Structure 1
Amino acid sequence: MPISPNQGSTGGGTLVTITGTNLSGTSAVNFGSKPATSVTNVSPTQVTAVSPSGTGTVGVTVTTAGGTSNPVSFFYVGAPFKSSISPTSGTMAGGNTLTLNGTGLSTATSVSFGGTTATPTVVSDSQLTVTVPAGAGPGPVSVSVTTAGGTNNGLSYTYVDTPTIDSITPDEGSTTSATAVTIVGANLGSTESVTFGGVNAPFDAINATTLSAVAPAAAAGTVDVVVTNPGGSATAVDGFTYISNPAI
């Protein structure tokens, strides 16, 4: 007498299908000592039932006028617990791989990002990976995991727009000393790096539209300025010019 699924939440509420013979007139389905909260006779070979709350492993039996069947094992599974996710933010387009750590993850069937679901790959009971779906808009969304034990959330993931660069002031500086510059654009609040000609520059995110950076000294010529955040990168092609000191 197989039962499907053979596991469910400790809180009950799992709809299971029991297949066997001589099931017509089923009067009761018990999960251990507890009766199912709902029983439906589908056919002489099939009965559906909704599991009550419980813990551990219990035997499921079917009772008809002819007696009570042999027990079939049903496993109660606790709700998942999430301890961390990495990374915690990324591009609006999604597509990057997120790792989620916790407990009770071995039966995970879906991960929801603010209502958009993705199918995870279970690594172990304490870890799964999932490809982040595209976001509906910038900002944080709740992350929830659904397993045989139920659904749990409590962590968040932030979708970040690609930055833009509107201006760099001043847009030129010395070849022999660092130059303080102001970069104005959009989506700059989560900036992770600023480079001048591929060289990392110290910076401070003033707000979502303004960065303060220090262009390091470099050889004479023009270089690209690149601002990068979790959503991507913006490049000001030939955005900064290094000028040699005058000589007499």
Structure 2
Amino acid sequence: MGLTAFPATAQAQTPVLCSESSLVDAIATANAAGGDTLLLLPFCTYRLTSAHGRGPAGPVGLPPITSPITLLGMGSTITRDPSAPAFRVMDVEGAANVPATKGQLSMVGVTVSGGSAVSPYPGGGISNFYVNAPVLAALAPVSGPLSGGNTVTLTGTHLVEATAMRFANTAATSFTVVSDTRITAVAPAGPAGPVEVTVSTAGGTRNAVSYAYVPAPALAALSPGQGPASGGNSVTLTGTGLGPTTRVLFGTTPATFTVVSDTHVVAEAPPGAVGPVDVTVVTPGGTSAPAGYTRVGPPAV
């Protein structure tokens, strides 16, 4: 892929009138047709006043070239108007830098000038830009609720050109590229169990990191169901989905706890006011429905 001195294949020549719109339309039509040879008017200046496409390196004056196109001219010029916003003049997108495209560009008797690429990519004439495939390192948190909606942070390298982020086959609800090494995203809903999270750029998709969808916990019983208001007694919580427990709450007060199994947690009741209090369990999958516990005062003398 790139520039050659002469057309690689003989094709019918499509004349292009001396105007910005004619050249833009001709390249778009050639892309759709799978390639063409475009005959530019001799000594014509095709002056581009705005960007008509976007490539991996930013805005482009002409539609990105995604098929084999030859430009034949005789003293013809393609230039960005000095008063136009910054953009690169042309962008060639071939399989090496944008997968599933076959961009090739050959030019004879044509001058390209006046390009002004947008930072951070230098130059401004013709881009044959290569984008690295992203490399993923870690995801945090590594699990969340079936309903999605939680924010995760993905770290790695070559992330700045991210165009898509997926949890298995489902696109992230939204994602924000923070830097070349960091993306934040809102997880979509998904079925229980592990899924692969991937990021795509124009350079492709490389590795994946794992994320687990966790069902919300459910409490079935507390034993004992009451204890002293001074706390300190052990309470056994039984239910389902308790393995990844991160907090046990008596009302809004956190308790010290030990996870015994996915169905069994032992907590130390914290002190509190006499009377009933709701006990809940929190996991990455959400918060359980409350189970009742009663704090009892000391006997009257």
Question: Which moves more between the two structures, 81-90 or 143-152?
Answer: 81-90
Residue 162 of structure 2: aligned partner: 108
Q: Indicate which of 93, 116, 122 corresponds to 2:177.
A: 122
- When Rg is computed on C-alpha atoms for both structures, the one with the higher figure is 2
Structure 2, gaps ≥5 residues long: 3-8, 13-32, 39-64, 69-92, 98-103, 113-125
Correspondence for 1:35: none
The one-letter amino acid of 2:176's match is T
Q: SS of 2:299's equivalent? A: coil
Residue 61 of structure 1 corresponds to 105
CA contact (8 A) 2:66 2:94 kept: no
Kept after mapping to 1: 8 A contact 2:152/2:186: yes
Give per-residue Cα distances to partners, 1:55-82, cap 9 Å, x unaligned.
xxxxx6316xxx5866832111211112
Identity %: 38
What TM-score do you get using the length of structure 2 for normalisation? Answer: 0.61
RMSD: 2.9
Pairing 1:42–2:86 present: no
Q: Using a 3 Å threshold, how does the CA distance of structure 1 residues 128 and 140 change in structure 2: closer, same or farther?
A: same
Deviations 1:32-55 (A, max 9, x none): xxxxxxxx753444871583648x
Gap runs ≥5 in structure 1: 1-11, 17-22, 27-39, 55-59
Structure 2: which amino acid aligns with 1:222?
Answer: P
Which structure carries more relative contact order (alpha carbon 8 Å, separation 6+)? 1
Give the AA of the match of 1:42.
G
Where 1:153 maps in the other structure, the secondary structure is: coil
Larger deviation: 221-230 or 100-109? Answer: 100-109
Partner Cα separation in structure 1 for residue 282 and residue 267 of structure 2: 13
Give the TM-score of the pair, scaled to structure 1: 0.73
Aligned-residue offset at 1:121: 2.2
What amino acid does structure 1 have at the position aligned with 2:175? P
Counterpart selection for 1:159 from 199, 207, 213: 213
Question: Cα distance, 1:206 vs. partner?
Answer: 1.2
Residues 247, 47 of structure 1: CA spacing in aligned structure 2 closer, same or farther, 3 A cutoff? Answer: closer
Alpha-carbon distance in structure 2 between the residues aligned to 1:163 and 1:47? 51
